[in-house]
Chain A
Amino acid sequence: MNDELKLEQDWLWIPLPAEIDHFQVEQIRQKIKEKMQEAYVKYIVFDFQNTNLMDSSGIGLIAGRYRELAVRGGQVYVSNVSDNMKKVLSFSGLYRIVTPWEQVVVDEATEMELKE
């Protein structure tokens, strides 16, 4: 499994671990901090592909990055969210501030079709 953060221009892609708790969040937060010093990040994608548990520490991490990016006109996306994880994300109200990545891809495709 490749768990390295990927930086591309002002996009930061963050693969999340299997279980996101306070202990894991401390490490991820540090890695994000380092990457965000390397470049002026405006967009972050949190990838839940390998994740099957997240507690409120993860909510705090994502909401924190949202606050950081919102002031610079950026955005936070979540990707590959399983049904299991959807429950936690919905309950926390996080969907009010983050966008499912898959939705963006679908929307863009429809937009292209409409233009054609």
Chain B
Amino acid sequence: MGNTNEMLVEFEAIGENESLARIVVAAFVSKVNPTLEELGDIKVAVSEAVTNAIIHGYEGNGGTIQMRIALDGHKLTIVITDKGKGIPDVEKAMEPLFTTKPEEERSGMGFSFMEAFTNELMVESKPGEGTRITMVKMMGEQDGSDN
């Protein structure tokens, strides 16, 4: 399948939009017939990135989150961007169990989930400017339309 498709959405950095972002991605990839497992994985990964933008990037004060979704054949690329406070040390932030908000019962597993549930994860960030998360995942290479 040489098909490509792309979409760009912007939404408010509020908790309600975590599920909205997952639904948008699920609908967008449905035409390549992903398996239930692939769909579950990408939804969790999106949830992690969007949640981080809301609670860490904008620290719950709101702002705009941009989500770009592109499909090139079976290759899905998702880019989630916030213009929040940014991450001073990305390498440290990506360590399993590292969190700057333990008092809010964060487990520091978000990046680990994004990494484990996609094929590629890239994190770019600048303190005071914002954060851009890029995730790539192969979807529906084995037709999941039966499940």
Assess whether A23 is in contact with B105, with CB atoms less than 8 Å apart. Answer: no
Residues of chain B with a CB closer than 8 A to A107's CB: none
Most buried by A among B43, B44, B108, B116: B44
Interface size on A, residues (CB 8 A): 22
Residue B19 lies at the interface, judged by CB distance under 8 Å to chain A: yes
Assess whether B107 is in contact with A21, with CB atoms less than 8 Å apart. Answer: no
Assess whether B107 is in contact with A26, with CB atoms less than 8 Å apart. Answer: no
Query: What separation, in Å, do the CA atoms of A91 and B19 have in the docked complex?
Result: 22
Assess whether A55 is in contact with B48, with CB atoms less than 8 Å apart. Answer: yes
Please provide the chain B residues from 38 to 74 with a CB less than 8 Å away from any CB of chain A in the complex: 40, 43-44, 47-48, 51, 54-55
Residues of chain A with a CB closer than 8 A to B40's CB: 52-53, 84, 87
Q: Given B43, B55, B113, which contacts A22 in the complex, CB threshold below 8 Å?
A: B55
A51-91 CB contact bits vs B (8 Å, 1 = yes)?
Answer: 01111110111011000000000000000000010011001
Assess whether A22 is in contact with B54, with CB atoms less than 8 Å apart. Answer: yes
Assess whether A22 is in contact with B37, with CB atoms less than 8 Å apart. Answer: no
Shortest CB distance B98–A (Å)? 12
Assess whether B116 is in contact with A91, with CB atoms less than 8 Å apart. Answer: yes
Residue A92 lies at the interface, judged by CB distance under 8 Å to chain B: yes
Question: Given A21-B19, A22-B55, are A84 and B109 also a contact pair (CB < 8 Å)?
Answer: no
Assess whether A55 is in contact with B44, with CB atoms less than 8 Å apart. Answer: yes
Residue A47 lies at the interface, judged by CB distance under 8 Å to chain B: no
Assess whether A23 is in contact with B18, with CB atoms less than 8 Å apart. Answer: yes
Query: What separation, in Å, do the CA atoms of A88 and B44 have in the docked complex?
Result: 9
Assess whether A21 is in contact with B36, with CB atoms less than 8 Å apart. Answer: no
Which A residue sits closest to B36, measured CB to CB?
Answer: A84
Residues of chain A with a CB closer than 8 A to B44's CB: 53-55, 88
Q: What residues of chain B have their CB less than 8 Å away from a CB belonging to chain A? A: 15-16, 18-19, 22, 36-37, 40, 43-44, 47-48, 51, 54-55, 104-110, 112-113, 116
List 13 A-B pairs, Cβ < 8 Å: A19-B22, A22-B47, A22-B54, A23-B15, A23-B16, A29-B105, A52-B40, A53-B22, A53-B43, A56-B110, A57-B51, A91-B113, A92-B109
A-B pairs, top 9 by smallest CB distance, nearest first, are: A23-B15, A64-B105, A60-B105, A56-B109, A55-B47, A60-B107, A22-B51, A59-B107, A21-B18
